Amino acid sequence: MDGAREKPLGWTRAALDQLDEQIEYVAAKELADPGRVAERIERALDLIRAHPRIGTPGRRAGTREWPVRGSPLTLIYRVERTRILILAVMHQRQAV
């Protein structure tokens, strides 16, 4: 899909809350530079925007999962007709 046809991203409230929680956790535990983690997430989102089917089929019907490179996070999303909806930002050790 070319850049002109990229779908916009939407976020569920839960996914935004999880994103904040994950960044805060990284900062509080000094596990990594939170800015760097945010950059990696943004790169993953850029890939998903450009190639919505890049993620593997999710554990729940109709979802896809994409691990954020260089981090323990996975983005869970659904490709809709007019947008890509980010459903969750999960730590890879969390149960879904």
Domain membership of residue 36 as a residue range: 3-91
Count of the separate structural domains present in the chain = 1
63, 86 in Cβ contact below 8 A? no
Percent above pLDDT 70 for the chain: 90
pLDDT: which is higher, 91 or 78 = 78
Q: Does the residue 74 lie in any domain? A: yes
Classify residue 21: in a domain, yes or no: yes
66, pLDDT greater than 70: yes
CATH number of residue 70's parent domain: 3.30.2310.20
Q: What is the mean pLDDT of residues 7-31?
A: 87
Q: What's the Cα-to-Cα distance from 71 to each of 13, 43, 59, 80, 87, rounded to whole Å?
A: 22, 12, 20, 26, 18
